[in-house]
Amino acid sequence: ADIPVIPDLEDVQEEDLAMQVAAPPSVQVNRVLTYHDLDKDLMKYAAFQTLDGEVDLKLLTKVLAPEHELREDDVSWDWDHLFTEVSSELVTEWELGQSERED
């Protein structure tokens, strides 16, 4: 009577896991400020113009470069081209130094 019996497939109700979708995790996302927002905040609030109440940052904030001047296009580097360019510049500098010594 205590012998285990293998159940028939019809008797077992399987859950179809392929049709179930896990709920997405809920994460609190804080808004990330853009450079433009940071620039406006830097100029608007006097608290950002001093550091620890002692160091005056007004001169620094006046000469900071705007974002559009700092953006550069991505340029891929080719090792052979870069090596040739640098070595030719070094040879040119070396030849100029040699000619100045001769004069």
pLDDT score recorded for residue 57: 72
pLDDT score recorded for residue 43: 64
Question: 52-101, pLDDT tens digit by residue?
Answer: 667 777 777 777 787 788 888 888 889 999 999 999 999 999 999 888 88
Distance CA 90, CA 7 (A): 83
Burial class, 42, CB count within 10 angstroms (exposed 0-12 / middle 13-18 / buried 19+): middle
pLDDT score recorded for residue 88: 95
pLDDT score recorded for residue 30: 74
pLDDT score recorded for residue 32: 72
CA–CA distances in Å: residue 15 to residues 19, 21, 69: 9, 13, 59
Whether residue 16 is predicted with pLDDT greater than 80 in this model: the reply is no
Place of tokens 């159940």: 7
**What does the DSSP assignment read for 57-97?**
-HHHHHHPPPHHHH--------HHHHHHHHHHHHHHHHHHH
Q: Which residue has the higher pLDDT, 31 or 100?
A: 100
Whether residue 23 is predicted with pLDDT greater than 70 in this model: the reply is yes
Rounded to two decimals, the pTM is: 0.30
Tokens for 72, please give them. 């550069």
